[in-house]
Structures are given as structure tokens and as C-alpha cells.
A = this chain, B = another copy of it.
Amino acid sequence: MEKIRLGIIGVGNMGSGHLQNVIDGKCPKVEVTAVADINPQKLVNAQKKQPSLTCFDNAEQMLDSGLIDAALIAVPHYSHPDYAIACFRRGIHVMTEKPAGVYAGQVRKMNEAAEQAGVKFGIMFNQRTNPLFKRAREIVQSGALGEPKRLVWIVTNWYRTQAYYNSGSWRATWNGEGGGVLLNQAPHNLDLWQWIFGMPKKIRGFCAAGKYHNIDVEDDVTIYGEYENGATATFITTTGEAPGTNRLEISGDLGKLVLENGKLKWWKLAVPEREFCFSSKEGFLCPDTAYEEYAQEAPDGHSVILENFAEAILDGAALIADGREGLNSLSISNAAYLSAWTDDWAEIPTDEKLFEQYLAELCRKETGKKNPSENFDTAETVNERWKVRWN
């Protein structure tokens, strides 16, 4: 079988997790031929897993080596755009970890470069492979839920201890990561929000920095969004609550969806609510509803996304998460930050310049509250950790 030759930029926790998935045969159309990392120990560890690997202490050398058709970028977010653009300039396809970048302007430029190069650009939004979210999207996007009215997502089960934040000096800093829970944990949910329900036109964000941890970035967020058609969205996330909740509710003119506890629950109205509202002679009655439930085991999303990326390169398959869509989730988080920083509404698309000014100021002012200690080696648990969890 034909395979793509993949180089991994950054074989820390995520990168070596992806390497392991390929070694384990989960991505038959992918062969990892090379890895690059500035940390020699990580190269040693990677080569132990797969002795045939060619190792580079410099990513550019790997890109120029002729050994790879495609690169998987798994370094801290700030560096995603530079490496991606370096790949695109060389005609190398790119799969990047989420978020695609730290601010929308970066991702816009990545997309322009990918388009110019005519190569594939995918994002590791592995949670899109979850059957419940796929089904929810079909229901909403097909119109089966009717005109959208409201989305409410309580996703507070991204719990992290202080030890997590201490593991790696880049984590949870403005300079190293460019944000907190909105940039590191919640991008999956922000992406699913827009993928299923579409993009809001304006946002009010409430972001509390260092509320539950000794960090400079936010670890508790509430976002309120409004849509062109009047629909609203509320999104609540934190790394500081235990046990957390993961419950997504979407309502429309034809009923309601609730995703929780590994189930999609669907209430379907016999007649559209808007029609019922103005035709009923009764004051307190609701339209009749039918109920349906859906559950299905989720595949290992990381390997599905990577294999799909290979299929896109080899056979022209459609990407599950195209790079262009990386802009959307980032636009929501950028708008939430900007709203919190200005204590005002933020329109979407956000004012990129203003956003970058504020971010630069936060980077300058960063106090470095954390107490960095040893890195964790958590590569073995990345599949588990980044899959959809319902409790």
C-alpha cells in the first residue's frame, strides 16, 4: 500500500503519542520517516521506539532532507505558524496540533501560504471523529433541528493540578502558550461549537486569570455569543472544578439536542415551535415531542485524523478538519479575550491589530508566577486524555 512519509516536528508528549499510534499500526497509510526536536533526549526516546527514524535537532534540516512528504507539528502553539509556513514554502503538507496558532492573523497567513503552495493543511481536531458530535452536526446542519435558537455548553471537566502547570515552563504563560484553558484545552470544544452550530457575530467574554492556579493566564471562562439570526450561545469552561461536567445542549425551532454521559438525546417537535406559538389557542401547552437516543463508541480520534490526512494527500479525500477552519475556533477565543481585556463586546472577525497589541502587553507584563519543575512524560496517555470525556 502507498504511504505518506511523515516527519514529526516536536516529539514531546503529543508528538511521541502520534508516533506511537503509527508504530502501533493505527494509521496504515502513514510511515514516520523522521523526527525533529531541539531536546536530544527526546530524539533518543523516539529512536528507541522506532530505530529506523532519522533524527534532526533542527526542523529546517528535516524539511530540506527529502525524507518527508508531510509534517506533523507538535511544538508549543506560538511556533505552529512559522513551521507550517516553512513547510508550505517547500511544498510539504502539514498537519498541525491545535490550536493552529495563537491569534487569528497567524492562521490567516498559514492558510494563504497553504493555498499558494497547493498542499494539504489539516488540524488535529480529533474530537470531530466522535460519532455523537458528527451526528449532532448532521442534525443541525441538515436543518432537522430547525432554525437554531441556542447552544449551551458546560465543559468544565478539563481539570488540571498545579503540578500540571509546573511541568514545562511554556505552559500556561502568555509568552509560552499565549493563553490558558481557551488556548490549550478548550480549542476542541470551540471548534465543535462552530462546526456544529456556526459562528457567532459578537462575543462577550469573562476570563479569570490565575483564579484556581498560580498562573498568569485564564483558568475559568464564560463566553456569551450572539448570532446574526438572534440565536445565542453560552460556553463555560475551567480547569479548576472537580468533578467537572461535559454537557452540550442545542435547541432549534424543531426541538432540542443534549449530548451528555456518552449519549445524544434528541427531542423532535411534531410541528415547528414558531408555528405552534402563533396558532395555538392554549396558553401553556407545548408542542408534542418524540424522543430518540443515540450512542456509539468513539474511535481513537488522533489516528483517524492522521490517516484521513494521508488519504487526503494520496487520494484527494476531504480533510475532516481543514486548516481554514482553524481560524474559526481561534476567532472565538480571540474575541473572548479581547472582550475580557476591553470589558466590552468583541465583534467577529476580531480586530487583529488590537488583539496583538493587548497580547504583546500581557507578554511584557508577565510575572512568571509558576514554579517549573520536572516535565511529565505523558505520551502514553495522550490518546486517552484528548478524547471526548463525559465526566
* Cα distance A349–B91 in the bound complex, in angstroms: 62
Chain B residues contacting A281 (CB-CB under 8 Å) are 163
Closest B residue to A226 using CB positions? B206
User: Provided the pairs A164-B283, A280-B161 are in contact, do residues A243 and B256 lie with their beta carbons within 8 angstroms?
Assistant: yes
Report the bound CA distance from A345 to B339 in whole Å: 13
Interface: A212 (CB within 8 A): yes
Segment among A22-30, A234-242, A297-305 that sits at the interface with chain B:
A234-242
- Interface of chain A residues 248 through 302 with chain B (CB within 8 A): 249, 251, 255-256, 258, 267, 269, 273-274, 276-278, 280-287, 289
Contacts of A274 in B (CB 8 A): 212
Given known A-B contacts A222-B234, A284-B385, A162 and B243 have beta carbons under 8 A apart: no
* B241 and A149 form a contact (CB under 8 A): yes
Contacts of A385 in B (CB 8 A): 284
Interface range on chain A (Cβ under 8 Å from partner): 35 or more
User: A230 on the interface (CB 8 Å rule)?
Assistant: yes
Contact of A160 among B159, B284, B287 (CB under 8 A): B284
B232 A161 Cβ-Cβ under 8 A: no
Known: A234-B234, A277-B212. Is A286-B224 also a contact (CB below 8 A)? no
CB pair B163 A282 closer than 8 Å: yes
Bound Cα distance from A242 to B232, whole angstroms: 16
Interface membership of chain A positions 153-197, coded 1 if the CB is closer than 8 angstroms to chain B and 0 otherwise: 010100111111001000000000000000000000000000000
Contact of A220 among B232, B240, B345 (CB under 8 A): B232
- The answer to the question of A150 belonging to the interface, with a C-beta cut-off of 8 Å to chain B, is yes
The answer for the CA separation of A376 and B284 in the assembled complex, in Å, is 11
A255 and B240 in contact, given A222-B224, A230-B211, A232-B220 (Cβ under 8 angstroms): no
Residues of B within 8 Å of A139, CB to CB, are none
Assuming A152-B236, A283-B164, is B222 touching A242 (CB within 8 A)? no
Q: What 0/1 pattern do residues 364 to 391 of A give for CB contact below 8 A with B?
A: 0000000000001010010001000000
Once bound together, how far apart are the Cα atoms of A136 and B106, in whole Å? 47
Tell me if A208 is interfacial: C-beta within 8 Å of chain B.
yes
The yes or no answer to A18 lying at the interface (CB within 8 A) is: no
Whole-angstrom CA separation of A244 from B150 in the bound complex: 11
Q: How distant is A13 from chain B, measured CB to nearest CB, in Å?
A: 10
Instruction: Give min CB distance, A126 to chain B, whole Å.
Output: 17
18 contacts between A and B (CB under 8 A): A149-B241, A150-B236, A150-B238, A156-B251, A159-B284, A161-B282, A161-B283, A162-B280, A163-B282, A206-B224, A208-B232, A222-B224, A240-B277, A241-B273, A242-B276, A244-B286, A284-B378, A284-B385
Interface residues, chain A, with chain B CB atoms under 8 Å away: 149-150, 152, 154, 156, 159-164, 167, 204, 206, 208, 211-213, 220, 222, 224, 226, 230, 232, 234, 236, 238, 240-245, 249, 251, 255-256, 258, 267, 269, 273-274, 276-278, 280-287, 289, 343, 345, 376, 378, 381, 385
Please list the 6 inter-chain residue pairs (A to B) with the smallest Cβ-Cβ separation, ordered nearest first: A164-B283, A161-B280, A242-B286, A242-B273, A159-B286, A243-B267
Q: A161-B280, A283-B376 are in contact. List 11 more A-B contacts (CB 8 A).
A: A154-B249, A161-B277, A164-B282, A167-B283, A204-B204, A204-B224, A222-B232, A240-B273, A242-B255, A242-B286, A245-B256
